[in-house]
Structure 1
Amino acid sequence: MTVTGTTDATAAAADGDGDGDHCGRLLTALRRFREDNADTARRWGTRLAAGLGAGGRLLAAGNGGSAAQAQHLTAELVGRYREDRAPFSALALHTDTSSCTAIVNDYGPDELFARQVRAHARPGDVLILLSTSGASTNLLRAAEAGHAAAAEVWALTGPAPNPLAEAGDESLCVAAGRAATVQELHLVAVHLMCDAFDAALAAAPGGTTP
């Protein structure tokens, strides 16, 4: 497991900057993100290009605002980020309402994502799990299912240490003391990944053809 980012104590200190205003906190956290996390996000995008270009799939999951971030990422890969290119296989696991409600009804909320991972994940796939707290049981269960399926598990979380960061093969932990700021920087990470993804495809032999 590889964890990049800083600790809860560092995040709490950063959260006090900027005269207590939202933009000030975001700017402080963004500076730290650029130093500590941006390279990891770009590296993940490059690796996704290789894996999905070889026929792998991205599975993504999160709760609440993190679900929106997961869906944003998969939409950029199935659609496009900036320039037109081939589509790639990427699924946000909260979007199939019939499956989600059936799973929660029959197996309980902790199995919401894990059962879908067991259904869809294969060796060579990537499972990315997004959480501001890093403590959501349904995501921790999904990480276990991802490992069992021999998929690579990446955790995109708030400050380390947290259980989800420990459960990932690799983790990117954002140092920010408030969930809103963490989510905003997760979106920055998503866009850095997409930018690196497209750049890697363009540089590969054959251009953007998977």
Structure 2
Amino acid sequence: MFTARGSTTKKDWYEFTFNQLTNWGLKFHKLITGKPEADLFIDDKAINHNDWNWGKVLNEQYDKDDEKVRKYLTKVSESFQVITHDSKLISEITLLGKKLGKVIVNGGKVIFAGNGGSFADSQHLAAEFISKLNVDRNPLPGIALGTNSSSSTAIGNDYGFESIFSRELEAICNKNDFLIAISTSGESQNILKLLEKSKSLGIPNTLLTGPNKNSKAATLADSFINTPSICDTTAEIQQMHITIGHILCDYAQQQFI
């Protein structure tokens, strides 16, 4: 509907409105002069909803949204295709998985650590060890550093945030343990200090990181597994890390099934 105000102008508002709408090329069914009913919706320069091709508009929007999803999934698929054909990377994952199985057989535990999304990955993977990944078996010793918020905030307050992992590692580790540090950038200060502490305590470790093979963490770790260069966002690196983590857990549990 279209509304025009100006009763004191002495204009013929029916004629004025009729001509204006016609000039705009807008369709209308009838003009109502005077004060409209209270339940009528008045919208300046509006057209009847039946004259608007809603289906076309919605389909175009859906096409754009669908394309965004396809583009993302295609990138993820390409990333996994790259790692599938990377023999060196596959060998590194295989060797680490078997090593974790030996760690557990020898009475050690697998210790995970990371920040943000990598912290969530650490908890996720520790849960796969303690509960189960895909088959029933005895629980396997896995722990994620930093999950005790009281300890983390106390250490952060007393010794600095960069010490929240290293101090906890020193408190709970034994010589048979194995540390897996997770950092997409390889530059997190608390991960660097954790790797240094791991080395000083004689606890073997490895780093799950992004494409950068020359990060500070990579130079400190005993070994590292880095994602292919096609993984150029944090989210893509983390998707790769959690998949690698699942494979490691599957290897580690084989002797206990």
Q: Distance in 2 between matches of 1:35 and 1:120?
A: 39
Q: Which amino acid aligns with 1:164?
A: A
Does the 8 Å CA contact 1:61/1:93 hold for their aligned counterparts? yes
Q: Which amino acid aligns with 1:181?
A: E
Between structures 1 and 2, the one with greater strand share: 1
Structure 1 segment 30-109 matched on structure 2, within 5 A: 30-36=80-86, 37-109=89-161
C-alpha displacement of 1:108? 0.7
Q: Distance in 2 between matches of 1:108 and 1:123?
A: 26
- Per the normalisation by structure 2, the TM-score is 0.68
Aligned to 1:189: 244
Percent sequence identity over aligned pairs: 32
Does the 8 Å CA contact 2:185/2:212 hold for their aligned counterparts? no
Aligned to 2:186: 134
C-alpha displacement of 1:160? 2.4
Matched, 1:123 2:175: yes
Does the 8 Å CA contact 2:180/2:205 hold for their aligned counterparts? yes
Q: Distance in 2 between matches of 1:146 and 1:21?
A: 41
Q: Which amino acid aligns with 2:81?
A: R
- Structure 2 residue matching 1:156: 3-state secondary structure: strand
- Per the normalisation by structure 1, the TM-score is 0.83
Aligned residue among 201, 208, 221 for 1:168? 221
Q: Name which of structure 1's ranges 22-31 and 151-160 shifts more when overlaid on structure 2.
A: 22-31
C-alpha displacement of 1:42? 2.7
Q: Which amino acid aligns with 2:106?
A: A
Does the 8 Å CA contact 2:94/2:251 hold for their aligned counterparts? yes
Q: Distance in 2 between matches of 1:69 and 1:42?
A: 19
Aligned to 2:50: none
- Structure 2 residue matching 1:60: 3-state secondary structure: strand
Q: Which amino acid aligns with 1:187?
A: I
- Structure 2 residue matching 1:180: 3-state secondary structure: helix
Q: Distance in 2 between matches of 1:191 and 1:40?
A: 14
Does the 8 Å CA contact 2:155/2:161 hold for their aligned counterparts? yes
Aligned residue among 227, 230, 233 for 1:178? 233
Bigger-Rg structure (1/2): 2
Q: Which amino acid aligns with 2:117?
A: G
C-alpha displacement of 1:187? 1.0
Q: Which amino acid aligns with 1:173?
A: N
- Structure 2 residue matching 1:122: 3-state secondary structure: coil
Q: Distance in 1 between matches of 2:141 and 2:184?
A: 25
Q: Distance in 1 between matches of 2:71 and 2:234?
A: 14
Does the 8 Å CA contact 2:114/2:183 hold for their aligned counterparts? yes
Q: Distance in 2 between matches of 1:128 and 1:174?
A: 15
Which contiguous aligned blocks of 4+ residues in structure 1 show a shift greater than 6 angstroms?
none
C-alpha displacement of 1:166? 1.7
Which stretches in structure 2 are left out of the alignment for 5+ residues? 1-69
For residues 143-166 of structure 1, the C-alpha deviation after alignment (integer angstroms, 9 at most, x for no partner) is 001111111111000012211122
- Give RMSD over aligned pairs: 1.8
Which stretches in structure 1 are left out of the alignment for 5+ residues? 1-19, 203-207
Q: Which amino acid aligns with 1:171?
A: F
Number of equivalent positions: 185
